[in-house]
Structure 1
Amino acid sequence: MSEFSTLELIKDPRGFATLWLNRADKNNAFNAQMIRELIVAIDQLGADASLRFVLLRGRGRHFSAGADLAWMQQSAQLDFHTNLDDAHELGDLMYNLHNLKLPTLAVVHGAAFGGALGLISCCDMAIGSEDAQLCLSEVRIGLAPAVISPFVVKAIGERAARRYALTAERFSGLRARELGLLAEAYPAAELDQQVAAWVDNLLLNSPQALRASKELLREVGHGELTPAVRRYCENSIARIRVSPEGQEGLRAFLEKRRPAWQDFDKEPRP
């Protein structure tokens, strides 16, 4: 694993990793260095066959305040082509996170502004505190949520994305749950306990089946019933049934025992 200045990557021996945004003194606002380090970290996570899933979290009081304003001020002094290069790198981050083969769970607390909503939207699942404050804040500073917009629309729908991108209203974790951005919202004091429960639940599942199901759902998309989708789905179940983990899961179910992938020590907690 690489050494990072703006991130902390921790592997749990039970087979998952927590990727921490670690600029707490800057409210985890991201700059060019953090974006580059996130790209490297995501590449490393995708190449690690020992991992089952990934948590994305923020150190300190906030998940992320979005883009670092000092970095944005520097970018404003650059020409169009240099800004285009920066946008391309941010796009690499978002698309790489969205396409990561491992299931991802974002855990949101405090503030999540601007591009932070892109990170949350790119994850497969997200939970957070009821009092979290989220905002597509770009129009307040004369910008637009351009690179993150496809992922935000996929997460909360076109109509809601139009409202919050155009008004820059803040909304709570409870509202984020109503919009579908968060799967669940919990009292802040209970968030770590609930994260542990989500981890325990995910660890019950076959590592191979988790990856296969994520790939399957990406192919299925919105569920259009095409011949190609039908063929893909039929091939998918046939492949996983004859795989070692598929065979082990079926045998364990019939023999009324735990499958091999559930044989782990439940400590430490994330």
Structure 2
Amino acid sequence: MNYQTLQVRFQQSICYIQFNRPEANNTINDLFIEECLRVLAICEARATIVVLEGSPEVFCLGADFQGLREDLLDGQKAAQPPEPLYDAWLQLATGSYITISHVRGKVNAGGIGFVAASDIVIADESAQFSLSEMLFGLFPACVLPFLIRRIGFQKAHYLTLMTQPILVQQAQVWGLVDAYDAQSDVLLRKHLLRLRRLSKPAITRYKSFAGELYELLYRSKPLALASNQAMFADPHNQKGIIRFVETGQFPWESE
């Protein structure tokens, strides 16, 4: 299996998916989403555990603004269609395997979606988490159903409005991170030693039950997709994104 945006390996029934767009800070584009969905479809049959990882410095920084700028200047689509990414997070949250995000370094915007959709989040001491969308006239419409499920409305609300990063210690207090350590690789191995004892049928039944128990992820999907599309189609927001990519200036900064 060859992928352009991911590095994938199976170790018995454990699938390791490493985000591999170092030149773009592991940002999310169409191919990234397509390849994630392709791997997760294979995991339905082959895996009991899926481990998501980024680089030591960056887990995932959200939407690929550089790619979006190029599309807009070429007169192409206004933004990545949001449904495939939402479906990837749904698959992580409800699929027939245990999902673990192993976070090192920065996580922002859509990267938080992968974290919030995971069953277990393990981090090292360098991890920090942010939602920067409001700085660009956007808000994390597709992330919020998953994030609210994990940490509750008010903390997700605060993180959205403040736009500034929180460190791993605060993330654990809020429930966004389940466990962290300076040696997160060792911590991950300890979790895997325990989790690999669980059978595929037991995991499948439990994840199906948990998905039905918390229906917000499904009920929120139409609203989240519509809100996301409207924000990215707004010419004012598009102009701000293009300017940020070209100059590094945020929308509120004077030219």
Q: Which interval holds the TM-score relative to the shorter structure?
A: 0.7 to 0.9
Tell me whether 1:213 sits opposite 2:211 in the alignment: no
Q: TM-score by structure 1 length?
A: 0.73
Moved more, 146-155 or 69-78: 69-78
Q: Which amino acid aligns with 2:18?
A: W
Give the structure 2 partner of residue 7 of structure 1. 6
1:27–1:60 CA contact under 8 A, matched in 2: no
Q: Helix, strand or coil: the match of 2:31?
A: helix
1:151-201 deviation line (CA, Å, top 9, x unaligned):
1111111001111101102101111111111111212xx111111111111
2:109–2:140 CA contact under 8 A, matched in 1: yes
**Runs of 4+ with >6 A deviation:** none
The within-5 A match list for 1:55-134 is 55-77=51-73, 82-83=77-78, 86-134=81-129
Tell me whether 1:136 sits opposite 2:131 in the alignment: yes
Q: 2 CA distance for matches of 1:130 and 1:112?
A: 13
The within-5 A match list for 1:116-265 is 116-187=111-182, 190-221=183-214
Q: TM-score by structure 2 length?
A: 0.77
Largest Rg, 1 or 2: 1
Q: Which amino acid aligns with 2:7?
A: E
Q: 1 CA distance for matches of 2:106 and 2:160?
A: 16
RMSD: 2.1
1:103–1:211 CA contact under 8 A, matched in 2: no
Query: Structure 2 residue aligned with 1:41, among 39, 42, 55?
Result: 39
Q: Which amino acid aligns with 1:17?
A: C
2:105–2:128 CA contact under 8 A, matched in 1: yes
Are the structure 2 counterparts of residues 78 and 177 from structure 1 closer, same or farther at C-alpha, using a change threshold of 3 Å? Answer: farther
Q: 2 CA distance for matches of 1:60 and 1:175?
A: 20
Superposed displacement of residue 106, structure 1: 0.7
Q: 1 CA distance for matches of 2:91 and 2:78?
A: 20
Gap regions ≥5 residues in structure 1:
223-270
Number of positions where the alignment pairs a residue of Structure 1 with one of Structure 2: 215
Give the structure 1 partner of residue 246 of structure 2. none
Q: 2 CA distance for matches of 1:77 and 1:165?
A: 29
Q: 1 CA distance for matches of 2:95 and 2:171?
A: 23
1:29–1:68 CA contact under 8 A, matched in 2: yes
1:133–1:171 CA contact under 8 A, matched in 2: yes
Superposed displacement of residue 212, structure 1: 2.0
Q: Helix, strand or coil: the match of 2:7?
A: strand
Tell me the percent identity.
24
Are the structure 2 counterparts of residues 71 and 180 from structure 1 closer, same or farther at C-alpha, using a change threshold of 3 Å? Answer: same
Tell me whether 1:31 sits opposite 2:29 in the alignment: yes
2:110–2:143 CA contact under 8 A, matched in 1: yes
Q: 2 CA distance for matches of 1:96 and 1:138?
A: 24
Superposed displacement of residue 210, structure 1: 2.3
Superposed displacement of residue 77, structure 1: 4.9
Query: Structure 2 residue aligned with 1:53, among 49, 54, 66?
Result: 49
